[in-house]
Amino acid sequence: MESVIISRIVKGGAAEKSGLLHEGDEVLEINGIEIRGKDVNEVFDILSDMHGTLTFVLIPSQQIKPPPAKETVIHVKAHFDYDPSDDPYVPCRELGLSFQKGDILHVISQEDPNWWQAYREGDEDNQPLAGLVPGKSFQQQREAMKQTIEEDKEPEKSGKLWCAKKNKKKRKKVLYNASKNDDYDNEEILTYEEMSLYHQPANRKRPIILIGPQNCGQNELRQRLMNKEKDRFASAVPHTTRSRRDHEVAGRDYHFVSRQAFEADIAAGKFIEHGEFEKNLYGTSIDSVRQVINSGKICLLSLRTQSLKTLRNSDLKPYIIFIAPPSQERLRALLAKEGKNPKPEELREIIEKTREMEQNNGHYFDTAIVNSDLDKAYQELLRLINKLDTEPQWVPSTWLR
């Protein structure tokens, strides 16, 4: 006759609060009803019909376990979507906690390394029981297995995809610091990132980074902020190897340096991004951004996605906002207002580029704005920037160590 063994005590539930039931205990009876020999579904049905006080007859577990240590709650940002109803491996589908990429999860138990117990940020009051989410190592293992299976099934398609990615990388590598962005980024399996709350000091504002496909408004939004609030926002002064023109002021328009000095700074990893135009080098340095921060102003940058890893690995604590396009028809109307008449394939390319940027770099974004109207997008951007002064934000815990 099969035994019914308690395999998991869920945090926040009556069993945990009572302290009387333990993992490994065998259940013989509940309220006088014999349980031994019944399967999980039968036990579930019996418990569903019971109300009020429950009396268990148990055989205590013979496993000698040390008293449970008080677990530290960790806070993580999810880098993948999860739906327990589509997961055949979740131990109890009803306890599975669904979440989306970008959600903050409060992990209260990692006792089972494969299945953590967690609450989703903002749902603590409506979620009395902790939910089950895949543990980090378990999720990495099955994603690796999934990728291997997909590659085996579609070798031609997979080959084309990797080839396309490599070609794109070659075209763009001059625009960012390759030494800080390894060639294997696309092979990293992203699961969770540990986060902590951070409130920016009044005298050290986080740089605001606007990211998005071309023609989605990030440059226009940046320029509007610069024009309307010159005392509050500033851009980082770029470096260049070209000669100074008569009307230009060194340190205001550009930092004019020799090619030798510029290349030495590239080798030292001092640039967030850099490139070459008409045989002259141009770049934005970490120190230039830091100078704006030290002045008490907010540094505004519009960067390419390839620069994000270098920026995030610096000590600048950037706040990264993705400017996304609206629907294809709405985007056409917005561009028409600017006197542009894009072809249908150009619009499709912008939408596809958006999807690609979100898929490959979305784990770097703090938030996103859909630019369906430039005035509304500007107000939303200003609201998000102002919120950094009044509310703590989740940042990678590594930034605060």
Report d(CA 256, CA 238) in Å as an integer. 9
Shared-domain flag, residues 249 and 115 = no
Could you tell me if 301 and 209 are in contact, meaning their C-beta atoms sit under 8 angstroms apart? yes
Residue 65: its pLDDT value, please? 65
Beta-strand pair 104-109/74-78? antiparallel
Angstrom distances, CA of residue 307 to CA of 174, 179, 272: 11, 11, 6
Report d(CA 191, CA 140) in Å as an integer. 7
Lowest mean pLDDT among 10-19, 192-201, 319-328: 10-19
Shared-domain flag, residues 234 and 354 = yes
- Mean pLDDT computed over every residue of the chain: 86
> Is the pLDDT assigned to residue 171 strictly greater than 60?
no
Shared-domain flag, residues 31 and 81 = no
Beta-strand pair 131-134/192-198? unpaired
> Is the pLDDT assigned to residue 172 strictly greater than 50?
no
Which one of 101, 123, 140 terminates a domain? 140
What is the tally of structural domains in the chain? 3
DSSP one-letter string for 340-359: ----HHHHHHHHHHHHHHHH
Q: Is 290 among the domain residues?
A: yes
Shared-domain flag, residues 251 and 385 = yes
Mean pLDDT of 251-257: 94
Residue 3: its pLDDT value, please? 83
Model-level pTM greater than 0.85?
A: no
Sign of the C-alpha dihedral, residues 171, 360, 316, 310? negative
Residue 222: its pLDDT value, please? 95
> Is the pLDDT assigned to residue 244 strictly greater than 80?
yes
> Is the pLDDT assigned to residue 233 strictly greater than 50?
yes
Shared-domain flag, residues 210 and 108 = no
Q: Is 10 among the domain residues?
A: yes
Angstrom distances, CA of residue 102 to CA of 40, 47, 118, 127, 213: 34, 36, 15, 19, 20
Residue 224, domain extent: 201-400
Residue 266: its pLDDT value, please? 95
